[in-house]
A and B are shown apart, each in its own frame.
Chain A
Amino acid sequence: MATSIVDAQSILAIDLGSVHTRALLFDVVEGQYRFIGSGIAASTANAPFRDIGEGFFRAVLNLQEKLGRTLIKDDRLILPSREDNAGVDRLVAAYTAGPELRIVTAGLLTDVSLQSIQRLAGTVSGQVAESLSLGDRRRPEARIDAVLQAKPDLIIFGGGTEGGAGRSVFKLAELLILVCRILPQEQRPHILYTGNQALARKIQEALSKWTTVHIAPNVRPGIDQEDISPAQEVLAELVTDFRKKQLGGMQTLADQCSAVPLPVSHAMGRMVRFLSRAYDPQKSVLGIDIGSQGVILAAAQDGRLNLAVAPYGLGSSARRLTEPALIEEINRWLTIYTPPELLRDYLWQKSLYPASIPGSAETLAIEQAMAKVILRRSFLQAKAENPDLGEVFEPILAGGSIFNQAPTAGEALMMLLDGLQPVGVSTVILDKHSLLAALGAAAEVNPLLPVQALESSAFLNLGTVICPYSPARYGAPILNVRVEYEKGNESRMEIRQGTFTVLPLKNGQTVRLHLEPLRKTVVDPTGQRSANSFKITGGLCGAVIDARGRPVPLPKDAARRRDVLKKWKQVLSG
């Protein structure tokens, strides 16, 4: 593994999305790694191309044109670089491209091993189509048929604490062998075993006669002990193996890479975990990325990562938002009147054309409302499944085309505030170039690169948000704020419950805030800022005091609600 700048200088990271392929170049400038630029092209994973190579080539070509630096010769990436600085030294990749994975989970007890396995399955982009457990009262053949009907690409199974159950695990394995025997070889799912390790060798011997089997450490080593992190790494490898066979050009790309390509969720998780070690150990670092197929939430506190991929996306999976309750929720966040029927049609159409972008004010409003609902729903779901997800986040890193394409930074921040509804004090950062996953993929090749690239200006600071929690009634004063500027001058303001206020700081301007909470108002639930006096740095939107309350209360009357939403938007957009 390279650890010095001399070992590996320029690194090209490829982000193979389901809609776009991005090529991101990092190189050493004045002794420090910097993000140099990015190229983008439409993904070619799908028909009629069915080969990611074309999209990869186009993205690199686009990067070459933008930078005026030779990266390609004779239709091939120059790797390693030449003496004239043409080409790159290393290539790494992360991906979300490919049809949604269909996963079957199998464990012994529903609320023990199966729960941990479900959580493990939830760290990759896919759909859990069937689950088996000891409590399953169906006859064996009915369970076999259920698995066959699920058409799994991947089966994750386990059970038994270390030194625990054996017989029941073997019974599950027998059932899976029968499934494999029924299916033609090319349709047999890959299997990940992540149960009692004392049985691992026998399980591998028995199942590997029929399909590809990976063994991962036990996700439930003790009845009250869960550890899915080691298994996550093996799962990532397995998914990559599967994609190499499924996606045209993936094997060729992987052969050129200096490290095994990673699912974007895992690459992002790696970076968020890394950042959590550098930030306040009392708070969690939160990384989110809304894609076409799903949303990735990676939260880590002091090196402990919680990773979840929720199946709500803004593209091919948009039709999952057509449940009446979700349509109603989207409607509640719309600034423009839109009949529910029109919204339903829009979501279906968006699923057909996931790469399409909002072409009018109305459709932009719909997609921004969709993003808020996706964030809210996914965040609450992840929190219900992982109570350790954290309360207060510092920083919040957000990526995804809905944020990057937002006409103003204020609109991007508004989506994040309404969707996540954070509490406490957080810095909100926009990953404008989708660097987080690229840096996670590059970290294995050169750990120095993410450290130095993060310090560069490749990420956009949207602003510091202060979200006090107060039981006070609407309109009551909850916070006295004194802003102390660097030149010594001051300004004061009174914050009332239900308000949304921008402190007009310039991007990069640092000030000291002195907060005086009133009426049992809590500024920082972690209790870290007990002095209520701290420095903040302004971002593109300055700094924001979001005293609207949690959850954000929206007026029931539709017309009034739209007025309120417009007013909040106006506050941020200036």
Chain B
Amino acid sequence: MQQVSITHMQPLTTIRRARMLPVRGQVHVRKHQKISAADIVASGYAGNEHLLLDVRRILNIRKAEQLEGALQCKPGDRIQKDDALAESGGMFRRVLRSPVEGQIVTITAAGILIEIQNQLLEVFAGIAGTVIEVIPERGAILEAEGALLQGVWGNGKANQGMLLAATLSPEEALGRETLNMSMRGAVLLGGRCEDADALKIGADLPLRGLILGSMTADLVATAQSVNYPVIVLDGFGTFPMNAQGYKILVNNEKRDACLNASPWDPFTGEKPEVVIPLPASGEATAEVGEWRPGKVARITTMPLLGKIGVVVDVPSAAQTLPNGIRTSTALVRLENNEQIFVPLANLDMLE
């Protein structure tokens, strides 16, 4: 039987995560240090803007070999605004000053290339735990104990706050009328959402995060625009949150929840995650498993999208579905005790 990847819905586990800068920078933690989710692990300047100064043209340097003598900076130099970069010789000296603060990347015949370091990048721990390894100039590997819930979609933001259930059941929709001032600064749990205004009001409160079972796809742009993390646990549409995830979240209401709403990258395996630090030790989780009786499965496509059940049997022979497609299936007992054959390709293993 082929191994498949596991989506984690764990009430208590050991979590190990790398927190790294995409550029070189400074690491602010040390090995064995205890950290909280809001701690900055590493920071650095991202130069997403550059400036190319054509020194020869500006200083009227005609010969390329004269350039070296005129330079007053070298690659790697950090520079402040108005720092002298080059100076022409002769009776009427002219000085080229930097119009920006930044770092010299390179100096070529084309000119001086400056990285404008105007964007400070900070990598937050995202989980409360211990630093187990420091990666110089880049970040650290962190370990934590707690509940772990992995989602299928995230809006790229991260934050943490006290977890509050905004809806009374996994079926209930989160709407504008659900939100009130008592939820300010909280991480909210909602069954499903199809109301863009609810997301916008969440930004005004402001919320520190939102965990949904499902969300309609027309809310994607709004969810990406809000300033707090939004994590969708099960998928797109209007269906209830999976019962296992909902139960874990409700049981941890009023605890701190750390949300890292990174978009799901199937190649690297990075998924949006909710981590709820707990004062207990859990086992490390497996990343892959095999379909066999007893495994918990979540259906990933319509019309039973988001339903979970327990695998009863995995027939070795392919089955013909009611629509005529022939494929490998598993017999799954749903929560209402109904047993149905579901294509293995449409099941996600939860653990």
Q: Hey, which bits of chain A sit against chain B, CB under 8 A? A: 41-42, 45-50, 54, 58, 98-99, 139-141, 144-145, 148-149, 174-175, 177-178, 181-182, 316, 322, 341-342, 344-350, 352-353, 355-364, 405, 407-408
Contacts and interface: CB of A to CB of B under 8 A. Distances in A.
A interface SS class: helix
A145 B48 contact: yes
B343 A359 contact: yes
B110 interface: yes
A345 B217 contact: yes
A322 B287 CA distance: 32
B116 to A, nearest CB: 9
10 contacts: A42-B4, A46-B267, A140-B110, A141-B49, A144-B113, A148-B50, A174-B110, A322-B217, A345-B216, A363-B301
Given A345-B237, A360-B303, A41 B264 contact: no
Contacts of A407: 323-325
B52 A352 contact: no
A56 to B, nearest CB: 12
Scoring A99, A141, A316, A347 by chain B CB atoms within 10 A of each residue's CB, the highest score goes to: A141
A356 B302 CA distance: 10
B69 interface: no
Given A46-B266, A341-B216, 8 more contacts: A47-B5, A144-B50, A145-B49, A181-B108, A346-B302, A348-B235, A352-B235, A359-B304
B236 interface: yes
A369 B49 CA distance: 44
B320 to A, nearest CB: 8
Nearest to B53: A141
Contacts of B113: 141, 144, 178, 181-182
Contacts of B322: 360-361
Contacts, number: 155
A410 B217 CA distance: 33
B327 interface: yes
Nearest to B5: A48
B182 interface: no
Interface string B311-345: 00000000001111111000000000000001101
A141 B342 CA distance: 54
Nearest to B346: A356
Contacts of B326: 405
B220 interface: yes
Contact of A49 (B49, B106, B235, B288): B288
A341 B217 CA distance: 8
A174 to B, nearest CB: 5
A360 B345 contact: no
B64 interface: no
Nearest to B22: A187
Given A174-B108, A348-B236, A408 B50 contact: no
Contacts of B77: none
A522 B131 CA distance: 75
A353 B342 CA distance: 15
Given A145-B49, A364-B325, A349 B302 contact: yes
Nearest to A354: B266
Nearest to B75: A181
B210 to A, nearest CB: 18
A42 B325 contact: no
Given A353-B300, A405-B325, A141 B218 contact: no
Interface string B1-30: 011110000000000000000000000000
Contact of A349 (B109, B235, B264): B235
Contacts of B236: 344-346, 348-349, 352
B52 A144 contact: yes
Contacts of A47: 5, 265-270
A341 to B, nearest CB: 6
Contacts of A50: 267, 269
A407 B327 CA distance: 11
Contacts of B325: 357-358, 364, 405, 407
A174 B91 CA distance: 33
B124 interface: no
The 7 lowest CB-CB distance pairs between A and B, nearest first, are A47-B269, A407-B324, A48-B287, A348-B236, A348-B217, A345-B237, A345-B236
B122 interface: no
Interface of B: 2-5, 47-52, 105-106, 108-110, 113, 115, 152-153, 216-218, 220, 235-238, 264-270, 287-288, 300-305, 321-327, 342-343, 345-346, 348
Nearest to A19: B345
Contacts of A141: 49-52, 113
Nearest to B342: A359
A356 B109 contact: no
Contacts of B323: 358-361, 363-364, 407
Nearest to A42: B2
Contacts of B238: 345
Contacts of A347: 217
B271 to A, nearest CB: 9
A352 B343 contact: no
A42 B348 CA distance: 14
B327 to A, nearest CB: 6
A99 B48 contact: no
A99 B267 contact: yes
Nearest to A180: B106
Given A144-B52, A359-B342, A405-B327, A349 B288 contact: no
A178 B288 CA distance: 43
Contacts of B110: 140, 174-175, 178
B120 to A, nearest CB: 18
B300 A352 contact: yes
Contact of A178 (B49, B52, B327, B348): B52
Contact of A353 (B47, B324, B346): B346
Contacts of B270: 47
A349 B305 contact: yes
B108 A177 contact: yes
A358 B218 CA distance: 22
Contacts of A349: 235-237, 300-302, 305
A116 B22 CA distance: 34
Given A344-B217, A360-B303, A405-B325, A352 B264 contact: yes
B267 A359 contact: no
Contacts of A174: 108-110
Contacts of B345: 355-357
B338 to A, nearest CB: 15
A322 B216 CA distance: 13
B52 to A, nearest CB: 4
Nearest to A20: B345
A345 B220 CA distance: 10
Nearest to B348: A353
A411 B14 CA distance: 49
A181 B105 contact: yes
Contacts of A99: 267
Contacts of A322: 217
A119 B193 CA distance: 43
A135 to B, nearest CB: 19
Nearest to B114: A141
A148 B48 contact: yes
A356 B237 contact: no
Given A48-B288, A178-B110, A360 B302 contact: yes
A148 B327 CA distance: 44
Contact of B302 (A49, A54, A362): A362
A533 to B, nearest CB: 38
A145 B50 contact: yes
A62 to B, nearest CB: 9
A142 B342 CA distance: 52
A46 B346 CA distance: 17
B129 to A, nearest CB: 21
A316 B108 contact: no
A48 B321 CA distance: 29
Nearest to A247: B267
A140 B327 CA distance: 55
Contact of A408 (B105, B235, B324): B324
